Structures are given as structure tokens and as C-alpha cells.
Amino acid sequence: MAEKIKKLDLQRDYKKYLYFIDGQGNVCHKPKSGEGESKILVERAVERDNQFLYFIDKQGDISRSPRGQKKKAA
């Protein structure tokens, strides 16, 4: 189960960019074309802990879930 860490309300354009959280906890985007550099959108958005996987959720906020957690079969 994911837990919301920080509310950003990040507006995204998935047709042009890939969005990610880098190793320093910055929220970044990079052109999907592969050309161009990564751009930091939010500096030091989160303090990372290696026990969790961090991601940008559907609402444009930062969430995390425990690493290595198996999904239950329905």
C-alpha cells in the first residue's frame, strides 16, 4: 500500500516528458525523444530512505511504498 509523502500537484505532459525522482530526491523530467538533458522541477522534494520505492502518483504528488513487497493474488 502506497503512502503519500508530499503534496505537489505537479502538472505533467506525458506525451513529451518522462518524470522521475533522482537519487538526491529531486523531481525531474526528461524529453521522451532522448535528446536533451534532465531538468529539475522541484529541488530536494523528498529525503530518500532505501527501504522504500518513491514515485509520482496520479495526482502529481510524491508517494512511496515498501521495497520487496509481494502483491497478493486475488
* 73 falls within a domain: no
Counting the structural domains of the chain, the total is 1
Residue 31: inside a domain, yes or no?
yes
Question: Does 38 map to a domain?
Answer: yes
Task: Please give the residue range of the domain that contains residue 53.
Answer: 3-66
Decide: residue 4, CB within 10 A, 0-12 exposed, 13-18 middle, 19+ buried.
exposed
Residues facing residue 55 across a β-bridge? 63
pTM for this model (two decimals): 0.80
Q: Are 45 and 25 in contact (CB under 8 A)?
A: yes
Other C-beta atoms closer than 10 Å to the C-beta of 51 total 9
Q: What is the pLDDT of residues 33-68, one digit of tens each?
A: 988 999 999 999 999 999 999 999 999 999 999 998
Q: Does 71 map to a domain?
A: no
Q: How confident is the model at residue 71 (pLDDT cuts 50, 70, 90)?
A: low
The bridge status of strand 52-56 relative to strand 62-66 is antiparallel
